[in-house]
Structure 1
């Protein structure tokens, strides 16, 4: 243990091990977890049902992990983009999206990303740091609108399955009865398709899955998503056919539509073939232009035609409304490349 270590982000099993090391009763782990995740209190000196001597020892050994956002930018549509600083001095962004009775937080799992998708501002940034479970959770816990949240989506900066250990720990804390107590149906994780970690995620959780697809053809997808070289989307689809998505858990495919690149009739035919046997939906997303990008979004009529053609082939397809584009908070626009000397 070092003084940089935090209690926040640890599971009861990890806390029990620490209690043993510090000469505390192991049952104190559940007491600590309740203070951390139910009362959102990480100062050991305030954990009044723990012996004073043990509180003092915890305070000496562990440092705070939670910190308020450093900046907020608000969109004309009500979306808010929050900037958080990590303990290592990097920055991440998360987007708070209110929509009637629903309030969604789009959280980041990494500062930057090493997947290198050509249409994504985060991918251009490269990877600076994978976040700890505490840094992932901090985006929700330290949010001014924390008590209004109804949903979490792991669709911010980074590839969640490139940081699987910490993401799974965060999901365990969010969904456990000793943690936040959220239903897994309130959470969605998005992945570009990291095959070695995909089964692990599906077996360990019941949260919804969203797969970043964007092109059904191997060679074409590889041009815009380097991940396709290592883990073809056909392999991802084969794995998903092994799982049941007919009850509470859902799988969807995210499809950023780029005019003349992935929106032709042959793409519709190949999507139908690729997704055959998987109960799913496709979410069509307008391409949000990033500087020096060669890609463009089709017009509204073309988006509707593409949606209707997929629907006619039996695939439930929707067009996702763009939110926060004017503050660079929409899909594919999150980036901290120019902040903090990055």
Structure 2
């Protein structure tokens, strides 16, 4: 059976035509899928029973619930979702007083091999379809309370740009979920051609994983630097007028004795000079088989103060879900993949 979930309005129009349904039923199907969040074709009550029966011969809704949930002492929840090929992905739900964010995945594993990331250590397992991306939002038990979605889970979104853009269309279109693109933030380590396409074809916020202003140092942390140097990425951003509403931010995980010196303050100031942006300083949570250690709290505050003195806007991001490995860089289904024959095991 082919899934209806994950299809755009244009694709649903093709489904309607092939099943001898009036053209307007495509928009009706979209609203049932993305606004009513139905789980069965027979729930499309304003479409004739005959048409529904024809649909059921070839299609299913395609929703699927999370397989597991793990709850942190701070209220963060890590959900495990099945993906095609018997694999699994993780999504992290982060509740706050007036903001409820879901961190979603765009790939199973990752090709990029960043030194500080658990997902990269499991290697690349496969691309997520638009259906699998959208399902993380629609099938979340807290779906109706979400205020924000961030593409900062497993994978590099720009390495799966077609399906990411398709899911963004579903999230933000009037016929889809109708979200403002300002509620969505998409992260990249700097895959420049796809990043340009994202900027041109979407109005969502953009976050760049930076972690060092210096080429050789960044290359050791992030091999992508060899292909798309950080200066090239920044110069590409300078070509666009993002307006006052669309935000660019830079993610900067702080590593003790690696990227937390005055030289880095000066390097960041020079690199980002004149670019309207925010830098998010992130605590590093140690992962197996890496020599990296996190910068101390006092040193992070000093670093933030020095950058502020240079006129940069700085936030020290609060850690969430560290005890369940849901914090930044900790998502990985490697163990769950090994246990796929026994999914009912505790985390």
Instruction: Give the TM bin, normalised by the shorter chain.
Output: over 0.9
Gaps of 5+ in 2: 340-347
CA distance in 2 between counterparts of 1:175 and 1:104 reads 16
CA distance in 1 between counterparts of 2:130 and 2:243 reads 30
Kept in 2: contact 1:245–1:280 (CA 8 A): no
Report the counterpart of residue 193 of structure 1 in structure 2: 190
SS at match of 1:231: coil
CA distance in 1 between counterparts of 2:4 and 2:135 reads 13
Report the counterpart of residue 344 of structure 2 in structure 1: none
Q: Which is further off, 77-86 or 55-64?
A: 55-64
Kept in 2: contact 1:152–1:186 (CA 8 A): yes
CA distance in 2 between counterparts of 1:123 and 1:87 reads 19
Gaps of 5+ in 1: none
Moved >3 Å (runs of 4+):
none
Report the counterpart of residue 268 of structure 1 in structure 2: 265
Report the counterpart of residue 205 of structure 1 in structure 2: 202
Superposition map of 1:42-53 within 5 A? 42-53=39-50
Superposition map of 1:115-264 within 5 A? 115-264=112-261
Tell me by how many angstroms 1:28 deviates: 1.4
- Provide TM-score, normalisation by structure 1: 0.97
Residue of structure 1 aligned with 2:109, choices 109, 112, 122: 112
SS at match of 1:214: coil
CA distance in 2 between counterparts of 1:33 and 1:208 reads 25
Residue of structure 2 aligned with 1:333, choices 330, 333, 339: 330
Q: Residues 168-206 of structure 1, C-alpha deviation per residue, up to 9 Å, x if partnerless?
A: 111111111111111111110111011111111001111
Report the counterpart of residue 25 of structure 1 in structure 2: 22
CA distance in 2 between counterparts of 1:25 and 1:43 reads 20
CA distance in 2 between counterparts of 1:65 and 1:87 reads 12
Structure 1 vs Structure 2 CA RMSD: 1.1
Tell me by how many angstroms 1:63 deviates: 2.8
Report the counterpart of residue 343 of structure 2 in structure 1: none
CA distance in 1 between counterparts of 2:256 and 2:24 reads 59
CA distance in 2 between counterparts of 1:72 and 1:51 reads 38
CA distance in 1 between counterparts of 2:73 and 2:188 reads 29
Residue of structure 1 aligned with 2:51, choices 54, 74, 97: 54
CA distance in 2 between counterparts of 1:48 and 1:207 reads 33
SS at match of 1:284: strand
CA distance in 1 between counterparts of 2:212 and 2:255 reads 10
Kept in 1: contact 2:41–2:61 (CA 8 A): no
CA distance in 2 between counterparts of 1:290 and 1:279 reads 33
Tell me by how many angstroms 1:229 deviates: 1.0
Aligned length: 339
Tell me by how many angstroms 1:225 deviates: 0.4
- Provide TM-score, normalisation by structure 2: 0.95
Kept in 2: contact 1:43–1:59 (CA 8 A): no
Q: Residues 249-302 of structure 1, C-alpha deviation per residue, up to 9 Å, x if partnerless?
A: 000000000011111111111111111121001000011100122011111110
